[in-house]
Amino acid sequence: MSIRSPISVQTGNTMNTQKRIGALLLTMFLALQACSTYRSTTTSRSPQQISPEEAYRLGKLKNKPYLIDGRLYVPMSFDQVYAYEETGLASWYGQETLDQHNGQPTAYGEIFDPGLPSAAHKYLPLPMIVRVTNLENNASIIVRVNDRGPFVDGRVIDLSAAAAKELGFYGKGTARVKIESVYR
């Protein structure tokens, strides 16, 4: 007959309890970690947004030529933005674009949110900040350009629904605008 020490029995039980607690904590940690990495597809309120100056400094400015429907587009350099000014027809895009593209990120990799002021432009480097003025009512807004487009002849900029509302042409669909660099 063997005699077991009360200490060894207690240690064995303590080790099993510690293993169970460790496994429980690990499971809880992994479950919480999974929750914290969820990202909504309807918001661009991202802490990852960097300024155009920072993008330029870090080499993350997007201005390489690209091809859409067989047409080559060559975006301007960051230095060319200082003198940039353009007048033309603006349109807007919103929830229908978000639905069509299933929350796909913009050309700069940010999540499109039609409820925030933003824009798409064919030739500006991404990201960029511009002032857009509705020439019909003189309303003006500063927007972040983080996408490409509009790829419709005769249009110079696509604005988010929020920007179009701010400029007063949401109901009309288009407006004649002036686009200016804020870096003048």
DSSP state of 112: P
Segments making up each domain of the chain, as ranges: 52-181
Give the integer Cα–Cα distance in Å for 147 and 106.
Answer: 5
Residue count of the chain, please give it. Answer: 184
pLDDT digits (tens, 9 = 90+) for 36-89: 333 333 333 444 689 999 999 999 999 999 999 999 999 999 999 999 999 999
The confidence band for 23, taking pLDDT boundaries of 50, 70 and 90, is low
Class of domain 52-181: mainly beta
73 touches 156 (CB < 8 A):
no
pTM passes above 0.75: no
Taking 90 as the threshold, does the pLDDT of residue 94 lie above it?
no
Distance CA 102, CA 115 (A): 16
> What tokens appear for 49 in the block?
């947004």
What is the radius of gyration, based on Cα positions, of the chain? Answer: 26
Query: pLDDT grade, residue 178 (50/70/90)?
Result: very high
Q: Which residue has the higher pLDDT, 105 or 126?
A: 126
Average pLDDT over residues 85-106: 81
Higher pLDDT, 103 or 108: 108
77 in Cβ contact with 65 (< 8 Å): no
% pLDDT > 90, the chain: 61
Please answer whether residues 110 and 146 qualify as being in contact, where contact means their C-beta atoms are separated by less than 8 angstroms.
Answer: yes
Q: What is the mean pLDDT of the chain?
A: 81
Both structure tokens of 162: 């929020």
Is residue 133 within 8 A of residue 115, CB to CB? The reply is no
